[in-house]
Amino acid sequence: MTATNAAAAPEPQPAGLGPSTVLGYPRIGPGRELKRALEAYWDGRLTAEALHGVARGLRAASWHRLRALGLAALPSNMFSLYDHVLDTASMLGAVPDRYGHLGDLDAYFAMARGADHVAPLPMTKWFDTNYHYIVPEIGPSTPLRLVGDKPVGEVREARALGYVTRPVLLGPVTFLLLASSAPGGPGSFTPIDRLGDAVDAYAELLGVLAAEGVQWVQLDEPALVADRIDAELGALAAAYERLGGVTDRPRMLVATYFGDPGRALGVLAATPVEAIAVDLVRGPAVGDLTNVDALAAKTLVAGVVSGRDIWRTDLHQALDILRPLRAHVGELVVGTSCSLMHVPHDLDLETDLDPALRARLAFADQKVAEVVALAELLDRHPSGGRTQPGGARDSAPPPETTRDPAQPPSRGPYRVRAAAQAERLGLPPMPVTTIGSFPQTDELRKARAAVQAGRLDEPEYERQIMAEIDRVIRVQERLGIDVLVHGEPERNDMVQYFAEHLDGFATTRHGWVQSYGSRCTRPPILHGDVSRPTPITVRWARYAQSLTPRPVKGMLTGPVTIAAWSFVRRDLPLRDVVGQVAEAVRLEVRDLDAAGIAIIQVDEPALRELLPLRRHQQAEYLQWAVAAYRLATSGAGDSTQIHTHVCYSDAAQVLTAIDALDADVTSIESARSHGRILDEPGIAGFVRGLGPGVYDIHSPRVPSADEIEELIGTTTRLVPPERVWVNPDCGLKTRTYPQVEAALANVVAAARRMRERLPTLR
C-alpha cells in the first residue's frame, strides 16, 4: 500500500459499530510518507498545499486498506500532522499567546518544534508507551472553545470517497489531566478545573458532527486506567452526563486502554454513553466486566487483539474471553486493545525474517484481519467448543527456565569513586559534555543503505565511519567541550544497533513506528534468550579516544530501555528478560573499562516509561529495574565514571529510583520543560553529579548564551557547582551541523561565564 493508491470509491457502508472495529491505525504511511513530507515542508522543499495533499493521500489509503481487510466500522480523525494531543489543543483554541502572531500551520508546528524566537511546548511520553505527545498549556483564562473543524473535515473527506466513518477524539477528561498549568496562574489551579468550558466545546462539536450525519463518535479516555481520585471520577461522571444530554448528537463510544479502568468503568457505565471500549489484553478480567450491571445496556468493544505488540493473537484464547461476555452486555464488538499506531503497518513487507519467527507475528494489517476473523468466528460459533480458527495459534516456544542474575558486585561508595575519578579525569568545574549522538548526515545514511544493498563494501564503509568520528572529535575540540563523544555515526538507532549485535533479537526493514512528529523508530523483536557474542562498541570507543587527550565517553543503552523500545517475547517475565539484557551490557561495560575508557554512559531514558500506571505495582518494578541497571554497570572500576541519561518521560516521578541507580553523573531533560524538573524536592538532595539539560535539541531553534547561562544558574542555586554538569537535553542526531555548532558554542560560552562567577556561586 502507498499513500496514493486508494482505489475507486466503494459503495457507502453502514455507520454503526458493526461486529468489528479498531481504535486507530498507523498514520505515518508504510513507507514513512508523512516523515518525508514533514521534513521537506520544514526545509522549504514542499508547500503547505503539497503537505496537505500527502496527508489526504495517507488518509485515503488507510480507509481503503481497512475496508479491503474487511473491517466493518472505520475510524477517522486518527491522522495527525504531528500529534493528536496538539491537534486537540488547536481545535479548542488553547494556543498560548506567544504563538498568536504566527499563522495557523506555523503556530501548530511552533508549539511542537519551536520557532526563531519562541520555544516549543514541553513534550513527554504518552502513558507507558514510547510515543511522545505535546503537553498542552492550560490556565484560568486560556481559550477553550471550538475553533477547529479537523474532525468534520475528515468525515467529509471520507464520505467523498464513499466511506462512512466514526471520528476519533481525545476525550475532554484525559486532555485536561494530561495538560500542564500555564505559568503565572494561581497555585491552587489545575487544568481539570476548566472541564466545564472544555465540555461545552465538545458538546458543540457533537452537534456539528450530528448535523454532518455522523452516527458514532469515539472519545478516548486512557487516563482512566491510572489511579484517579474521587474528584476526578466525579468530573468524569459530570462530563459524560453533560455530553450525554446533548439533544442532537452522535452515539458515543468511550475508549479506555493501556490497563484496567477499575472504578472508572462503573462510573462511565452509569452515564448515558452508548458504548465503552475496554483493553482486555492489559485490563480487567472477564469477571470484573460481568459484575458491572450497567454494561447490560451498553455496547462493549472488547479489545482482545493487542495494539501494543507484534505477536500473533491466539484466536482460541480470544474466543474464550469473548463468548462469556455476550450474555452480559447489550452488544459485543470485537476490537483492538488500543490504537494500532504503536505497531508497524504490514508484516507482508518483511520478506527477510526467519519464517518460524514470522509465523508468530502480526503487524497492524494482520491485526485488523484478526479482529475481522474473530468477529466472524464468534458469529458462527457463539456458544463455544474448540473451533479451528482461520489462523495458527501463536507458536511461541514454551517458557524457558528463568535464571536470576547473580548479585552484582558492589562498586565503592560514591565519595571514594568521586575522588578517584577527579584525580583521573582532571575536569574543570561545571564540565560541558553532550549526550552521545551527533547529526546523522545524508552521507552516513546513504552509506549505510549502500552497505545493506551490497553496493558498498565493509572496509570502505568503516573508513567513512572513522572519518566521521574524526570530524566529530575535531568539532568538539574546536568548540571547547570538556568531555567528548564519538558521535555514534555507526549507529542507526540507540536500541536497534545493539539488537543487531546481540543474540536473541531480530530486526526489520520496514517495521517503522512513530515516536513523535516525523521521528520514527524500528523496534527490534526480542524473541529469544539474550547474550553478547562479541564486544560491540569497544573498537569505536578506543579509536575515538586515540584521537584526543580529552576523555571520550563510551556510549551504551541501558537494559530497561533496550527492552522497553523492543517488542519483547511474552513467554518470560519482563524482569527476567531485562536481567538477560543487563548481563550482556555488563560485559560491554567491563570491556570498555579494560580498554581504558574513563567515562562510560549507560542511558536509561525509558526508566519512567515502563513504570506501571497503578501505584501499587510501581515499587516492585522500580526495584528490579534499578537492580538490572546496577548489574549492567557493575563491570566498571571505581575510577571509571558512570553516567546515565533520562529524558522526556516525567522523570520527576522516579527521582528516587534515578538516585538509586548510583550513577556518578545523571543528565536529565530540563530545557524543553522549562526547568520543571528543578522544582522537584528530590533535586536538592541529589548527592552525585547532575546535568539538567540547557539546550532543547528537538527544536531547530538555537538558544542564546544568556538563556543557557540563566538555566545553569538555576541549577547552581539547587546543586553545588562542583557537582553540576552542562549538557543538552538529549542526543544531537536529529539536528544539522550548523544548528549543533551554533548551539554548542553558546553552551560552552555560558559555562565559561558561570565558571568565572564561581566564587560568588559557592
Same domain, 363 and 426: no
Whether residue 707 contacts residue 410, with contact meaning beta carbons closer than 8 Å, is answered with no
For 53-63, what is the mean pLDDT? Answer: 98
User: What mean pLDDT is reported for the chain?
Assistant: 92
More confident residue, 755 or 103: 755
Residue 724 lies in a domain: yes
Q: Which amino acid is at 234?
A: G
For 365-394, what is the mean pLDDT? Answer: 77
Buried b (16+ CB within 10 A) or exposed e, 160-197: ebebbbbbbbbbbbbbbbbbbbbeebeeeeebbbbbeb
Same domain, 373 and 442: no
For 662-684, what is the mean pLDDT? Answer: 83
More confident residue, 671 or 497: 497
**Residue 400 pLDDT greater than 70, yes or no:** no
- The pLDDT of residue 474: 98
Residue 621 lies in a domain: yes
First to last CA, the chain: 62
- The pLDDT of residue 762: 55
Same domain, 368 and 441: no
Q: Does 645 participate in catalysis according to the annotation?
A: no
> Which band of pLDDT confidence, cut at 50, 70 and 90, is reported for residue 386?
low
Same domain, 437 and 305: no
Please report, for residues 410, 631, 632, 687, 690, the alpha-carbon distance to residue 663 in angstroms, rounded to integers and kept in the order given.
Answer: 12, 12, 11, 11, 10
Same domain, 132 and 235: yes
- The pLDDT of residue 7: 43
Same domain, 505 and 360: no
| CATH number where 271 lies | 3.20.20.210
- The pLDDT of residue 707: 93
d(CA 584, CA 535): 10
Same domain, 374 and 427: no
Query: Which of 319, 350, 380 is the last residue before a domain boundary?
Result: 380
Q: 113-135: per-residue pLDDT in tens?
A: 998 888 899 999 999 999 999 99
**Residue 103 pLDDT greater than 90, yes or no:** no
- The pLDDT of residue 17: 87
Residue 524 lies in a domain: yes
For 49-61, what is the mean pLDDT? Answer: 98
Query: Which of 380, 412, 432 is the last residue before a domain boundary?
Result: 380
Residue 408 lies in a domain: no
Same domain, 449 and 355: no
Query: Which of 322, 350, 380 is the last residue before a domain boundary?
Result: 380
Backbone φ, ψ for residue 27 (5° rounding): -115, 0
**Residue 397 pLDDT greater than 60, yes or no:** no
Residue 663 lies in a domain: yes
For 557-561, what is the mean pLDDT? Answer: 97
Q: 611-657: per-residue pLDDT in tens?
A: 999 999 999 999 999 999 999 999 999 999 999 998 765 666 778 88
Place of cell 546523522: 440
What pTM was computed for the model? Answer: 0.91
Segment of 445-459, 541-555, 698-712 carrying the highest mean pLDDT: 541-555
Residue 390 lies in a domain: no
> Which band of pLDDT confidence, cut at 50, 70 and 90, is reported for residue 683?
confident
DSSP helix/strand/coil, 570:
coil
> What range defines the domain where residue 638 resides?
420-761
> Which band of pLDDT confidence, cut at 50, 70 and 90, is reported for residue 217?
very high
Same domain, 671 and 547: yes
d(CA 232, CA 675): 27
Q: 521-536: per-residue pLDDT in tens?
A: 999 999 999 999 999 9
Residue 22 lies in a domain: no
Buried b (16+ CB within 10 A) or exposed e, 295-306: beebbbbbbbbb
Residue 410 lies in a domain: no
Q: Write 442-451 long-range contacts (CB < 8 A, 24+).
A: 444/468, 444/489, 448/492
Alpha helices (H) in 326-405, listed in sequence order: 355-358, 364-380
Same domain, 436 and 348: no
* Residue 152 CB neighbour total at 10 angstroms: 18
Same domain, 554 and 611: yes
Same domain, 360 and 492: no
Give the percent of the chain with pLDDT over 90. Answer: 80
Place of cell 572529535: 473
Query: What's the total number of domains in the chain?
Result: 2
- The pLDDT of residue 698: 81
The continuous run of DSSP H or E covering 126 comes out as: none
